Amino acid sequence: MSTQPTTAPLTPRSASRCAPVLPEAYAYLVREPELTAAWQEEVLIRQAEARKVQLLLDYRERRAAEQQPKHTFSREAVVRAVHREAALMLGVTEHQVRRILTTAETAQKWLPGVWEAYQAGRVDLARVEKVADGAGDLIETNTGKPEVQRELTGALDGKFAQAVVGENPNTLARMVRDTVAELDTAGHQRRYDRAKTKRYVSFIHHDDGMSTLKALLPSVVLGPLEQQLHTTAATAPRKAKNTEGEVQEATYYNRMADTLAAWLTAGVQTCNAESGNGGPRSETKLRAPARAGTGINITIPLATLTGACDAPVVSTDGRFILPAEEARHIANNPEAGNTYYLTGTKTTPEGKQKPVRIVKLGAANPLTGTVPAASSTGADPTDQADNSTAQGVTTELVNQLISNPNLLEAESSAWFVTGNLRTAVLLRDGVCQVHGCTEPGFRSDIDHKTPHKTGGATSAENTQVLCHIHHELKSHQLLPELGAGTDPREQASPEPGPAARERANPAQRTPDPPSDWTRRDTPHEWATGGAA
């Protein structure tokens, strides 16, 4: 039998002692009686679920002990039988039971802090599953190394035993992903290489004349394509004639689908023409829209770029993460059409890196000629250049960061944020700035914190990335953390009037602490946009 303690009896009193973790701007919600009662019910549900899961684990262990299977196949058969029996009793699928018990077993054995939070009702199983998945990656890529497994999963548990309680599930998943890659860079590279061998394309044909296209491809391929589709669909006509000459309304996602179909059709026709094959005759005449010049934006620590370390690289909007080798290949590929930006950051009270300076360096790789090409493969930098060279590169980059114009200090008299200022805001924010929202910047709006029509400046300081939904909520003064007032999403920009804002006297301001990029011992970050 399992020696793990089961959950304590459920009482409303125990639930009331488990307080919700809320953003500061929403602390007032604990005074709402209906929401407080709903939270207490949620805690009781979580505790009941934890007790149910523990009973399932106990049952599986008892059945295995009773059967005493001698062979691996026999033990697996017993486990499958237990999953089937539990599924029949609970009225769920065997896959659900297997998934629940795999998550619980991983958390119970390798993540004691997260497991304790789950049993107490402070966190739900969905969040536990995200951390357990990360632990599973660390365990799998370090098979046969129990001490390393225990060390890595212990570090993961130590970081998320408390953080898991208050984090939005989507944000938590990204945090776990990034932490796992940072804890085990070699394992992340192996998982990346293995995943690329599983790429595929499949077609499912339906009875109504439509078909589903599925593809598993590298993020560096689909990332730019996704942005191009959104950019093109946003400017495509909403009404178009079908093959019968009737005018039809096309939704945003209809236009994305039509654009992709046109690109695929044009590509097939080009391939047929080049190969001499006539190919099938197309019944629909699709004109392929021009592909916008978008790409992926990744932020690369300088030490990773030079090969001094293999820290992973995250896209600026957090959608995907790349191993160091792939990031160096993108950054140092002369045919990629990169645009390079140098980013200076400072550490926030929450321990996150916030960009405070963004300098556009252009298309030329600033490290060309300063770091030997061999370092792009991740070789030991001591074999490539001495410490004085590395220090010289760092000094040169810091000088460029300080001396070149800071895009985050630019202002415009126009209403809409465009050009370099827009790029800088997107690089700085990455995603919608509402707590827990992960909508990427390229699918979002850039909002004026103080409305433009009341004198708010079109500047980086007065603008932020907001997704369409949260932009609308802010315009109705329903987002306490962002304050009141915003520019209407659909309203055109009027001619800017005289500024109505007051600027504080710089002499009376409390100086900010020195930014991290001013310290010579702190790695600096690069943001490089790879062309499609």
Kindly list the domain boundaries of the chain, sorted by start residue: 12-183
Distance CA 500, CA 457 (A): 9
Q: Are 285 and 265 spatial neighbours (Cβ–Cβ below 8 Å)?
A: no
Closest CA to 86 of 102, 106, 67: 102
Q: SS3 string of 116-127?
A: HHHHCCCCCHHH
Q: Are 165 and 115 spatial neighbours (Cβ–Cβ below 8 Å)?
A: no
Distance CA 217, CA 334 (A): 23
Q: Which residues contact 356 (CB under 8 A, 6 or more apart)?
A: 344, 345, 346, 408, 515, 517
Q: What is the DSSP letter of 322?
A: E
> Encoding tokens for residue 360?
């556009």
User: φ and ψ at 401, to 5 degrees?
Assistant: -65, -35
Give the dihedral of Cα atoms 505, 507, 512, 516; nearest 10 deg. 110
pLDDT for the residue 217 = 95
Closest CA to 315 of 37, 526, 18: 526
Q: Which long-range contacts (CB under 8 A, 24 or more apart) does 488-497 make?
A: 489/445, 492/415, 493/414, 493/415, 493/416, 493/452, 494/415, 494/453, 496/413, 496/414, 496/415, 496/452, 496/458, 497/453, 497/455
pTM of the complete model: 0.79
Place of tokens 């039998």: 1
Distance CA 239, CA 466 (A): 27
Q: CA dist 356 to 162, 268, 359, 409, Å?
A: 29, 46, 10, 9
Per-residue pLDDT 10s for the chain (532 aa) are 444 444 445 455 455 578 899 988 899 999 999 999 999 999 999 999 999 999 999 999 999 888 876 666 678 898 999 999 999 999 999 999 999 999 999 999 999 999 999 999 999 999 999 999 999 999 999 999 999 999 999 999 999 998 888 888 889 999 999 999 999 999 999 999 999 999 999 999 999 999 999 999 999 999 989 988 988 888 888 887 777 888 888 899 999 999 999 998 887 665 555 555 554 444 444 455 555 556 778 888 888 888 888 999 999 999 999 999 999 999 888 888 889 999 999 988 878 888 999 999 888 888 775 554 434 444 444 454 456 666 777 788 888 889 999 999 999 888 889 999 999 999 999 999 998 899 999 999 999 999 888 889 999 999 999 999 999 999 888 988 876 555 544 433 323 333 333 333 333 333 344 444 444 444 444 444 433 3
Distance CA 434, CA 446 (A): 13
Closest CA to 179 of 202, 199, 153: 153
pLDDT for the residue 413 = 87
> Encoding tokens for residue 135?
């632990």
Q: DSSP string covering 94-105, please?
A: HHHHHHHHHHHH
Q: Are 344 and 515 spatial neighbours (Cβ–Cβ below 8 Å)?
A: yes
Distance CA 474, CA 482 (A): 7
Q: What sign does the CA torsion over 19, 23, 27, 31 have?
A: negative
Q: Which residues contact 478 (CB under 8 A, 6 or more apart)?
A: none
Could you tell me if residue 528 is left (phi over 0), alpha (psi between -120 and 50 degrees) or otherwise beta? beta
- Please count the helices (runs of H) and the strands (runs of E) in the chain: 16, 14
pLDDT for the residue 187 = 95
Instruction: Give first-to-last CA distance, the chain, whole Å.
Output: 57
Q: Are 43 and 18 spatial neighbours (Cβ–Cβ below 8 Å)?
A: yes
> b/e per residue, 110-131, with b = 16+ CB within 10 A?
bbebbbbbbbbbbbbbebbbbb
Give the dihedral of Cα atoms 200, 206, 209, 213; nearest 10 deg. -20
pLDDT for the residue 27 = 92
Report helix angle 112-119 to 146-166, nearest 10: 40
Q: Which residues contact 249 (CB under 8 A, 6 or more apart)?
A: 238, 239
Report helix angle 33-67 to 125-140, nearest 10: 40
Residue 154: CB atoms within 10 Å:
15
- Which DSSP helix (H) or strand (E) runs through 204? strand 200-205
pLDDT for the residue 404 = 92
pLDDT for the residue 308 = 85
